[in-house]
Structures are given as C-alpha cells and as structure tokens.
C-alpha cells in the first residue's frame, strides 16, 4: 500500500502543469489546453477549448491513469462528460466521450509547463437577442431535399477530390436519376478569414468556385456547412458576426444549400436566443443573391419544430446525431418523431438526421427499415455512404423508386404511428392521390406477424395492396393486411381504393 501511494505521488507530480493539444491541419491551427493540479490521487484544474473554459470535477488518479468530469449546461439541462486519460512518458493521452454510441476520440497532449495552474478565468457574458421578425419563405424544398452529405462516412477527410469523385459516381450509378440532387460538404472545409473578414477555404478545397461549377456541370446542386458560433463542431471557423458576409461568399461561390450547426454558439449566445440567431442567417441567405436552402442543425432543442419555419428554415434536425447501429437509428426514427407530424409540410421538414445506409454498422434488413421509416417521415434523404464503393444491395435500397415516391409525395404529410403491439408497430401517411403508404415494422428479436388494419387508416372494405420492397401487387384485400416480418425488418405497402 505504501508503495502504491508513493508511485501515485510521483505520477501526480509529473501530471501537474499546463498541457496543450495542437491540431495542425488543412491550413488551420486549433488548440485545447489542460491546466492540471495533481495531489496524490486527486486531480483538479480546468480545460480551455472551443467550448470555453470548463472546470474539472471529480478528478481521480489511479496508477498511471486518471479520470475527470466536465459538467456542461446543455440547453438548460446538466450534461456530465466523463473523460479518461493516461500519462506515458512526456505525453498525455486523453479520451473524449462521444455523445452517441461511437467510440471516444483520443487526443495527445504535450506539457508546456510544470507549474501549478492559475485560477480559471470567467467565461464572457452571453449575448441575448430580441425576438426576430419572421423570415420570408424562400420557395425552396417543396419536397424533402435529397442528396449526399460527407460527414457520416468521411468526417474530416472530405476534400475537393472526394466531392468531384462522388459527383461522378452519382451521375452514373443511378442516384441522380433517382432524385438525389444535393452533394453537400460538411465540416472541415474552412480556414481563417482574410484582412477584410472574408471566410477562406483550407488546402483541401483550393478553388470552391471551380468545385461548385464542376458539380453543377454534372447536373447536381451543392451544399456547404457552417455554425452561428465562433467555431464549428470540429473547431474550424464559424460565422459568428459574419452572417451576411458568409452568405454572400456562399452565393458567390455557387452554393445551393447551407447546413447551419449550433455547436460553439452556446458559448456566445444565451440559448433562448436561438430562434433569433438562426433568423439572422435566414435573412442573410435571402439577400445573398442566390437561392440557398436553409437546414437548421440544433438537435431538436427548444421545440424547433414550432419555430424553424419562421426563421427561414427549410428543414430542422429533430434529434442529436445518428450513429450507424440499430439502437441509435430505431430510437431516433421511431421514438423521437412521434409528436412531430403536424409541423412538416412543403417547404419545411422535420429532419431525423442523415442516412447511414451502406456504412456497415447495420444489416441490409435494418437498412431497409431505416429507408422505409425515413420515407414515411417525409424526411430529407441525404445518403452518407461512399458512393465509389456501393454494393448492389445498398444501391437497391437507396434507389428504390417506389419508396422515394412516398418520401417525395407532394401532399407532404408526415406519417404517424397508427398501431403498436409491443415491438410491432404500424406507421402510415396519406398520399396526394388518396392512397396510404404503410410500414409494418418489427422492432423485436424474432420474426413476427404484423397486421395493418384499414380502420386505422380511416378506410373500410376492400383495398388494393402493393408491396413496395417486393415491387409486387398483393391483390384486393378486405379489412386488414397481415404478413410475417423479420426481426428488425419492415414490409412496406401502398394501400389504395
């Protein structure tokens, strides 16, 4: 026991000090600072990053490893983030928690001082904005937007070359013909600003205007990403206090779509000001000189479905980030969309996040459920896979024209759950021609029979049934339709009289 205490004391002495993680990439430099004080098995101090200054709590040292907690105010609710770390020689490895089911991110820190840390300086007071006037409708997104986004598969590896190759593939592999129009660049394209405050691109994107021209020449539209905060989620330059300037840059470059991700805006704005913050960019896009679809990404907080349209939004995220696994996808798609149908319609859509279809974390059966549910929800269909390496099975899922017709139906009526029996659920939406698209879902662990009753759809008597995955007519069926559904699977039908 005495030896353990002695070893911990030596380790603690080495851990105390100022540690820095520097990220040199794409012409930008980003830093996170740790100011640590270790006393035998106790660890105190603070962290400084894009998220501001945050106090370390519950810090403990065990041998050459340590843990601590950062407590954040996430839109009025306390969020506890558990960090783990290890000291090896002169390098400290810190594992960041991931907010979803993905593995944590490891970051290496180097010591720049062994002195005891100073007191944590206070964070600046947050900005409160008055309510904004409603932003005029931009006449875009009459149907849910369809396309591709770089983040789910490529994250910070997106580049000019990747976007061009994706456009080439989608022009020839059937995706464009199926209706996938937008090719969207997510985070990590940004550099800093020039002397006049104009946003610059980093080395991965040497000529944005040439890139947009290339994508347009292939018959697509193209999208870009930013944040209303000083930094984006990945720590790149955001649009804080440059909204009009950035909107004009996007228009001059030739962009058609903006995903606007809250991220570090929490550090500068009172979160109750969120609608007014988004309205600033909504207005800026309207006066940018080019029609630009406005996609709000703020994780569904503050009941965004009730005000997203008023700030110029064409779509708004309803949840946190999706992960490529059944638990995440099914929870987001089934459980978190139940009350949102009244707020969707032409020009303004609920967005349960991008598609994970083809990224490898689910079975093809689960991916068919993913596609079916998103189409019933009238959700944006933004593929997130590698278009250059897509199996025929995944292509068939993403390019199912009968499913896509449901998603794109011009009535724009989002599905609701019309029946539930344990793990068995039936979701349905009315279509413009008076028919109904119906999903018979089995969320359980074994095959089961699922029944869709015509009375739940508001119809009676016989109805014609077509299976949208089998591409087969099932004839005239009285009163109800029952069928066996695989575990985590779906049978998707169109019911018409």
**pLDDT of amino acid 241:** 98
pLDDT exceeds cutoff 80 at 419? yes
Average pLDDT over residues 419-426: 98
The confidence band for 123, taking pLDDT boundaries of 50, 70 and 90, is confident
What is the C-alpha to C-alpha distance for residues 376 and 437, in angstroms, rounded to an integer?
Answer: 7
**pLDDT of amino acid 402:** 98
What number of other Cβ atoms are within 10 A of residue 73's Cβ? 10
* Residue 198 CA neighbour count, 13 Å, CB half: 11
The confidence band for 27, taking pLDDT boundaries of 50, 70 and 90, is low
More confident residue, 96 or 173: 173
Closest among 182, 207, 153, 181 to 259, alpha carbons compared: 182
What is the C-alpha to C-alpha distance for residues 352 and 370, in angstroms, rounded to an integer?
Answer: 11
Residue 467 catalytic? no
Query: Mean pLDDT for the chain?
Result: 94
**pLDDT of amino acid 74:** 79
Residue 238 and residue 275 in contact, taking contact as beta carbons nearer than 8 Å: no
**pLDDT of amino acid 105:** 81
pLDDT exceeds cutoff 90 at 22? no
What is the C-alpha to C-alpha distance for residues 205 and 159, in angstroms, rounded to an integer?
Answer: 6
**pLDDT of amino acid 2:** 45
What is the C-alpha to C-alpha distance for residues 235 and 472, in angstroms, rounded to an integer?
Answer: 49
Least confidently predicted of 27-41, 164-178, 195-209 = 27-41
**pLDDT of amino acid 89:** 80
Residue 56 and residue 39 in contact, taking contact as beta carbons nearer than 8 Å: no
Q: CA-based diameter of the chain, in Å?
A: 82
What is the C-alpha to C-alpha distance for residues 246 and 199, in angstroms, rounded to an integer?
Answer: 7
pLDDT digits (tens, 9 = 90+) for 61-75: 998 899 999 998 878
The rounded Cα 199 to chain-centroid distance in angstroms is: 23
Average pLDDT over residues 17-31: 76
Token pair, residue 68, equals 């601590």
Average pLDDT over residues 355-367: 98
Q: Which 3-state string (H, E, C) describes the chain?
A: CHHHHHHHHHHHHHHCEEEEEEEEECCEEEEEEEEEEEECCEEEEEEEECCEEEEEEEEEEECCEEEEEEEEEECCEEEEEEEEEEEECCEEEEEECCCCCCCCEEEEEEEEECCCCCCCCCCCCCECCCCCCCCCCCCCCCCCCEEEECHHHHHHHCCHHHHHHHHHHHHHCCHHHHCCCEEECCCCCEEEECCCCCEEECCCCCCHHHHHHHHHHCCCEEEEEECCCCECCCCCECCCCCHHHHHHHHHHHCCCEEEEECCCHHHHECHHHHHHHHHHHHHHHHCCCCCCEEEEECCCHHHHHHCCHHHCCCEEECCCCCCCCHHHHHHHHHHCCCCCHHHCECCEEEECCCCCCCCCCCCHHHHHHHHHHHHHCCCCEEECCCCCCCCHHHHHHHCCHHHHHHHCCCCCCCCEEEEEECCEEEEEEECCCCCEEEEEEECCCCCEEEEEEHHHHCCCCEEEEEECCCCEEEEEEECEEEEEECCCCEEEEEEEC
Average pLDDT over residues 290-302: 97
Token pair, residue 123, equals 């964070």
Residue 455 and residue 419 in contact, taking contact as beta carbons nearer than 8 Å: no
Q: Which of 160, 246, 261, 324 is catalytic?
A: 261
pLDDT exceeds cutoff 90 at 100? no
Domains of the chain: 2-113 (2.40.128), 146-414 (3.20.20.70), 417-496 (2.60.40.1180)
Residue 220 and residue 185 in contact, taking contact as beta carbons nearer than 8 Å: no
What number of other Cβ atoms are within 10 A of residue 146's Cβ? 20
Give the global pTM.
0.91
Q: Which of 321, 353, 407, 409 is catalytic?
A: 321
pLDDT exceeds cutoff 60 at 3? no
Residue 321 catalytic? yes
pLDDT exceeds cutoff 90 at 379? yes
The rounded Cα 3 to chain-centroid distance in angstroms is: 49
Token pair, residue 202, equals 């980093």
Residue 256 and residue 293 in contact, taking contact as beta carbons nearer than 8 Å: yes
């Amino acid at each position: 026991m005495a030896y353990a205490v002695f070893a911990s004391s030596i380790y603690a002495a080495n851990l105390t000090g100022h540690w820095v993680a520097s990220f040199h990439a794409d012409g930008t430099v980003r830093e996170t600072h740790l100011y640590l004080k270790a006393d035998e098995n106790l660890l105190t101090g603070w962290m400084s990053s894009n998220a501001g200054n945050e106090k370390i709590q519950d810090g403990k040292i065990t041998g050459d490893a340590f843990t601590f907690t950062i407590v954040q105010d996430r839109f009025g609710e306390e969020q506890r983030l558990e960090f783990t770390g290890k000291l090896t020689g002169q390098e400290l490895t810190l594992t960041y928690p991931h907010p979803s089911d993905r593995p944590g991110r490891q970051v290496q820190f180097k010591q720049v001082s062994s002195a005891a840390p100073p007191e944590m300086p206070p964070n600046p007071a947050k900005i409160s904005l008055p309510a904004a006037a409603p932003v005029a409708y931009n006449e875009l997104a009459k149907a849910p937007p369809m396309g591709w986004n770089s983040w789910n598969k490529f994250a910070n590896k997106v580049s000019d070359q990747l976007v061009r190759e994706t456009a080439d593939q989608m022009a020839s592999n059937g995706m464009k013909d199926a209706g996938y129009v937008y090719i969207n660049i997510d985070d990590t394209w940004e550099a800093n600003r020039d002397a006049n405050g104009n946003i610059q691109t980093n080395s991965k994107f040497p000529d944005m205007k040439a890139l947009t021209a290339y994508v347009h020449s292939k018959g697509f539209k193209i999208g870009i990403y930013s944040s209303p905060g000083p930094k984006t989620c990945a720590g790149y330059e955001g649009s804080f206090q440059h909204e009009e300037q950035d909107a004009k840059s996007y228009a001059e470059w030739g962009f058609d779509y903006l995903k606007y991700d809250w991220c570090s805006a929490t550090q500068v704005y009172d979160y109750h000001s969120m609608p007014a913050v988004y309205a600033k960019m909504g207005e800026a896009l309207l006066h940018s000189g080019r029609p630009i679809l406005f996609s709000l990404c703020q994780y569904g907080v503050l009941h965004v479905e009730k005000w997203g349209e008023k700030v110029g939004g064409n779509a708004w995220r309803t949840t946190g980030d999706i992960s490529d696994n059944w638990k995440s996808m099914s929870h987001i798609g089934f459980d978190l969309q139940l009350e949102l149908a009244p707020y969707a319609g032409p020009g303004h859509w609920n967005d349960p996040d991008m598609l994970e279809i083809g990224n490898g974390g689910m079975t093809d059966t689960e991916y068919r459920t993913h596609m079916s549910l998103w189409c019933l929800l009238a959700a944006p269909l933004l593929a997130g896979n590698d278009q250059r390496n897509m199996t025929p099975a995944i292509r068939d899922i993403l390019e199912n024209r009968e499913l896509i017709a449901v998603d794109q139906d011009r009535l724009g009526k989002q599905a609701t759950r019309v029946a539930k029996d344990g793990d068995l659920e039936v979701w349905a939406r009315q279509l413009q021609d008076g028919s109904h698209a119906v999903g018979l879902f089995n969320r359980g662990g074994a095959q089961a029979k699922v029944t869709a009753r015509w009375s739940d759809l508001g119809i009676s008597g016989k109805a014609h049934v077509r299976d949208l995955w089998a591409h087969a007519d099932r004839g005239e069926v009285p009163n109800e339709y029952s069928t066996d559904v695989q575990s985590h699977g779906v049978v998707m039908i169109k019911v018409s009289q």
